[in-house]
Structure 1
Amino acid sequence: MRNITAAATTAVETPSPDAAVEVRGICKMYADMEALRSIDLDFPAGKLTTLLGPSGCGKTTLLKIIAGLIPATSGEVRVNGVAVTGPGPERAFVFQDFALMPWATVMRNVAFGLELKGMGKAERQAIARKYIAEVGLSGFEEKYPHELSGGMRQRVGLARAFAVNADVLLLDEPFSAVDEQNRRKFQEDLLRLVDLEKKTFIFVTHSIEEAVYCSDRIVILSRRPGRVAQIIEPEIDRTASPDAIRRDQGYLDTVEEIWQGLKRYVD
């Protein structure tokens, strides 16, 4: 395990020349609360970076600022060198609650972003069908969200994000609503898609085990106001089987070290 910064409320990352997303001096204030303080981070292109920390530390807030869904109080986010001023086609967001259109079929939901871009029906459906297959939902194209399990609805959300061909995919606890068996399968599917698509992923989770299993890098945020406390790069042999990874001593030691660091924030 590579430990990039020691646990400290003033940890600052050295700028990376291959960063797809650059976060500089991000602060977020609400009326009576400071959510984030002086966040400086780079997110490398083609990697999966996880935001991890105690409840209320600002993980989802930071993700939504990067997405352009909410404004920062101060600071700047740049994606591919361009300042973020709102949502953009180079970013796609996968919501925790799926955010599917209940009146639309799986095909229509997955193709919707392409429809908004003005793409023709045949072309957008061909692209949608490809990603529906990638997430294991072939044969469900004409089903509606209420006819699907929670896990299947989350797969539709993932397929929709992939279909728009965004450079950066932002995932807000995408597996929190599914059972443990499906969660592990989704984690394996996600790693396959990360390797296949070569996109930049920013992933929010509360699960230490999930973060270590899935991530190239883990950014640990402190208790509110969220600050960068530590950055870890798990050294995991991704060619090993999922069961072998989960039994690997390096994996287990990294999980334990992160827990020892985080538990001081647990009330």
Structure 2
Amino acid sequence: MIVDMSQTNSDFAGVQQPEQDIAVSVRGVSKNYGAVEALKDMSLEFPRGQLTSLLGPSGCGKTTLLKIIGGLLKPDSGEIVVNGKPVVGPGPNRAFVFQDFALLPWANVLRNVAFGLELRGVAKSEREDKAAKYIKDVGLAGFEQAYPHELSGGMRQRVGLARALSVDSKVLLLDEPFSAVDEQTRRKFQEDLLSLVANENKTFIFVTHSIEEAVYVSDQIAILLPRPSRVSEIIRPSSFRLKGAENIRRDPEYLDIVDEIWASLRNYVE
């Protein structure tokens, strides 16, 4: 389903989710960098337990919005509400997966994955047990004692994902996490991400430049237009989501949505 948001950004006519189903609410958020308006009166809601992609051309404010949700940037106006509580800074209810991995080069995989729990004061045996579980879940069992420089780019990104999962935050913020890996690895990551969304009961907010990737992994896609950024469309793929990861890219609805998104964005690509 595609809903034109150009006239309804403030009230979400036709797509309002029940209050109890919303994990994150962006309410009238604006952000300026000097004379540049990055975000202006943006409102957007993220359903609990689902993956929402932020998609749009370069410079449209995707990463700025993600950092504001994460508490790494303060908005000039408006507010972010996560599970009913306003965001005033970083917090344990949100975890980041960064584009550049952000691993500790002097720590092995086990300690990197357990590092967030270490900062929270979790006992060593408990945090290592939890880290080992997520290392296995992301396909890195057997690499617990390896160091980042010994891993491929795809493996390092898996470490970053395992670290975010291990702290058990209810909201995961993913800033183009697959952009630095090759196409084959990226496709495998996308399949793994669908499995994590289905099994982890977390809310995923996913920044990407790839139309095909957004349509493949998302329950909801928010199309952002160039600054001052605004939501032009909310897209909720329907029928092909239930057909299995291996069938999505051949589904007519998938192909139609990819084409429709490109048609709406092509005039904004320089």
Tell whether the structures are fold-level matches, with TM greater than 0.5. yes
Q: Which runs of at least 4 in structure 1 moved beyond 6 Å after TM superposition?
A: none
Q: Is the 1:67–1:92 contact (alpha carbons within 8 Å) kept by the matching residues of 2?
A: yes
Deviation at 1:225, TM superposition (A): 1.2
Which letter does structure 1 place at the counterpart of 2:175?
A: D
- Once residues 5 and 86 of structure 2 are traced to their aligned partners in structure 1, the CA distance between those partners, rounded to angstroms, is 29
Q: Conserved in 2, the CA contact under 8 Å of 1:36 and 1:224?
A: yes
Alignment check: 8 A CA contact 2:103 2:148 kept:
yes
- Kindly tell me the number of residue pairs found equivalent between the two proteins: 265
2:194/2:245 contact within 8 Å kept: no
Q: What is the correspondence of 1:1-267 to structure 2 with a 5 Å cutoff? A: 2-3=1-2, 5-8=3-6, 11-12=9-10, 13-14=12-13, 15-16=16-17, 17=19, 18-267=21-270
Deviation string 1:56-104 (CA, Å, 9 cap, x unpaired) is 0000000000000011111100101111000000000111101001111
Alpha-carbon distance between aligned partners in 1 of 2:72 and 2:255, rounded to the nearest angstrom: 36
SS for the counterpart of 2:241 is: coil
Identity %, equivalent residues: 65
Gaps of 5+ in 1: none
Is the partner of 1:234 in helix, strand or coil? Answer: coil
**2:117 and 2:127 in contact (8 A); partners too:** yes
Alpha-carbon separation, structure 2, partners of 1:193 and 1:129: 16
Does 43-52 or 243-252 show the bigger shift? 243-252
C-alpha contact 1:9 1:228 (8 A) present in aligned 2: no
Deviation readout 1:7-66 (Å, 9 max, x if unpaired): 526533255311110110000001121101111111110000000001000000000000
Name stretches of at least 5 consecutive residues in structure 2 with no aligned partner. none
Counterpart CA distance in 2 for 1:241 and 1:85 is 39
